[in-house]
């Protein structure tokens, strides 16, 4: 059963029949985390790096921003029994899609906020594919932890992270 993670959204599950999927990550970042022992996984699809851009929106939808969505993703998986040291982490997106001249660099800024947060919290990424000018889709199977990436709607690859 596919559970869609929309833009500015997060889903966490321990249902073995669930497959978390988020589509068309362009400048947005998709963070997938999985605990292979607890069989708990989560996916976050955030749009912007920092909630200070719009504090009112951040209160209504903290998953829209990296600095508020990322901690909530981890906390929610812990609630389902995940343990930080067992977590496998993948990061996709951060492309330069609509901003061809790099004026705003949203993709790079989205990636930078994640890297800073992970560095401060001693979190190691197991698989990462960011940047470029393509969009990416992630599918995460809760039963096995298998993750599939689709690039620009065509190329499909199993992610080597578990």
Strands (E), the chain: 2-4, 9-13, 19-25, 29-35, 40-46, 88-93, 127-130, 136-141, 147-151, 155-158
Catalytic residue (one of 28, 89, 91, 92)? 28
Query: Parallel, antiparallel, or unpaired for β 19-25 and 2-4?
Result: parallel
Is 28 one of the annotated active-site residues of the chain? Answer: yes
Dihedral angle sign, alpha carbons of residues 12, 17, 23, 25: positive
**Looking at the annotation, which residues are catalytic?**
28
């Amino acid at each position: 059963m596919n559970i869609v993670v929309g833009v500015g959204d997060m889903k966490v599950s321990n249902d073995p029949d669930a497959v978390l999927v988020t589509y068309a990550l362009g400048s947005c970042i998709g963070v997938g985390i999985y605990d292979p022992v607890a069989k708990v996984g989560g996916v976050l699809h955030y749009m912007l790096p920092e909630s200070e851009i719009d504090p009112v929106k951040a209160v209504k939808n903290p998953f829209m921003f990296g600095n508020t969505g990322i901690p909530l993703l981890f906390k929610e998986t812990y609630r389902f029994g995940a343990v930080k040291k067992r977590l496998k982490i993948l990061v996709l997106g951060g492309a330069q899609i609509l901003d061809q001249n790099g004026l705003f660099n949203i993709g790079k800024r989205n990636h930078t906020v994640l890297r800073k947060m992970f560095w401060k919290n001693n979190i190691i990424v197991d698989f990462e594919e960011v940047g470029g000018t393509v969009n990416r889709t992630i599918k995460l199977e809760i039963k096995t932890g298998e993750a599939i990436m689709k690039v620009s709607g065509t190329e499909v690859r199993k992610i080597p992270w578990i």
